[in-house]
């Protein structure tokens, strides 16, 4: 005789999965009314209920071959192992064994624990577009000498008053770098201008202070006749016994005009200044003839004046000296 139990004889939760026989739960035993919602709905009455999938609420599902399957498209495929991804070549993704990962080309990017990042030193000049780096992108003091192209620093790049003495190399400033009238007196050190710094013949009168040229500054034999102004040498400038006879600038001359019995005036071979007229001595046959200022009386007197026709000095007797008599004139004239 078989035993029969009714519902009230079973304690709550006493029937476990292990107690249920294979295929023991039939549709009639299922109450599906609590399973509706989230894209599922219950169709039919108790004992003959079924679950209906609302494909409009589940766009990723579809019925295929009488089975509810995931709907796949594009790079996703559905096979016996489940949903798989078809990796197209050269599209930046790759199979990493346990999933799909990014494929990195080059060294600019890296994958860290939090995702994709820019690799250390990954950005080179090849990754930077022309004119992309502005001043706000450059850190202070980041541009070193090695980064500057030759001749890259032009006048326009140098700030006003930026070049001080520390920036100028020794012996770098040549004549062509100095503007006209740029070197002022304040810029010259004491005793900075020596003989080597002076261009020949560039020290003019205007550059010399009054009384600046002392005896010590005048070289031996430096003062020649061209440096002495006319009438500048007075008696006090001449040392005692300094003027020798050869330095007078005159020489003794002797003329011997020919007496012909008719001529009374004779030009001298050398012209002499009026102050020397009184030094003209005339002799006839060895006897001195008397000098008068003007209007000589006869052949024993003579006067000295200038012949305006010949511009020479001449002597004039008061009467013609007899032919054949010997006349001699002695005088001092310019040595030239």
Residue listed under structure tokens 């071979």: 269
Q: Is the pLDDT of residue 228 over 70?
A: yes
What whole-number distance in Å separates Cα of residue 72 and Cα of residue 84? 9
How confident is the model over 309-325, as pLDDT tens digits? Answer: 999 999 999 999 999 99
Residue listed under structure tokens 């007899």: 322
CATH number of this structure's domain 250-334, picked from the four choices 2.60.120, 2.60.40, 1.10.3470, 1.10.1790: 2.60.40
Cβ–Cβ contacts within 10 Å for residue 163, how many? 10
Predicted pLDDT of residue 245: 67
How confident is the model over 163-187, as pLDDT tens digits? Answer: 888 888 988 888 888 888 887 778 7
Instruction: Give this prediction's pTM.
Output: 0.35
Positions of E strands within the chain: 40-43, 50-53, 61-64, 67-70, 76-79, 82-85, 93-95, 100-102, 109-112, 115-118, 250-255, 265-267, 281-284, 287-288, 290-291, 301-307, 312-317, 327-334
The residue extents of the domains of the chain are: 25-80, 250-334
Residues in the chain: 336
How confident is the model over 117-165, as pLDDT tens digits? Answer: 888 877 887 778 998 888 888 899 888 888 889 988 898 888 988 888 8
Predicted pLDDT of residue 53: 67
On the CB side of 206, how many CA atoms lie within 13 Å of its CA?
A: 1
Predicted pLDDT of residue 47: 63
Predicted pLDDT of residue 93: 72
Which residues on adjacent β-strands are paired with residue 21?
none
């Amino acid at each position: 005789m078989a035993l029969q139990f009714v519902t009230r004889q079973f304690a709550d939760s006493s029937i476990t999965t292990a107690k249920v026989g294979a295929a023991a739960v039939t549709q009639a035993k299922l109450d599906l009314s609590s399973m509706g919602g989230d894209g599922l709905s219950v169709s039919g009455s108790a004992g003959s209920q079924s679950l209906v999938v609302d494909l409009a609420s589940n766009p990723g599902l579809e019925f295929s071959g009488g089975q509810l399957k995931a709907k796949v498209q594009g790079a996703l495929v559905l096979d016996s192992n489940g949903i798989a991804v078809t990796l197209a070549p050269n599209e930046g993704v790759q199979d990493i064994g346990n999933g799909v990962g990014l494929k990195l080309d080059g060294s600019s990017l890296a994958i860290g624990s939090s995702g994709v990042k820019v690799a250390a030193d990954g950005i080179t000049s090849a990754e930077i577009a022309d004119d992309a780096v502005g001043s706000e992108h450059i850190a202070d003091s980041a541009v070193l000498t090695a980064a500057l192209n030759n001749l890259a620093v032009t006048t326009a790049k140098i700030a006003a008053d930026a070049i001080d003495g520390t920036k100028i190399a020794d012996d770098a400033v040549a004549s062509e770098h100095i503007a006209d009238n740029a070197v002022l007196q304040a810029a010259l050190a004491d005793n900075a201008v020596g003989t080597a710094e002076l261009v020949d013949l560039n020290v003019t009168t205007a550059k010399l202070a009054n009384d600046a040229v002392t005896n010590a500054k005048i070289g031996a034999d430096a003062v020649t006749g061209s440096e002495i102004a006319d009438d500048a040498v007075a008696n006090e400038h001449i040392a005692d016994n300094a003027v020798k006879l050869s330095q007078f600038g005159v020489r003794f001359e002797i003329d011997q005009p020919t007496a012909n019995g008719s001529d009374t005036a004779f030009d001298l071979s050398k012209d002499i200044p009026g102050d020397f007229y009184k030094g003209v001595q005339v002799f006839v046959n060895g006897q001195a003839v008397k000098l008068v200022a003007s209007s000589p009386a006869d052949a024993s007197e003579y006067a000295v004046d200038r012949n305006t026709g010949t511009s020479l000095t001449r002597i004039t007797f008061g009467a013609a000296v007899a032919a054949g008599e010997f006349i001699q004139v002695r005088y001092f004239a310019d040595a030239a």
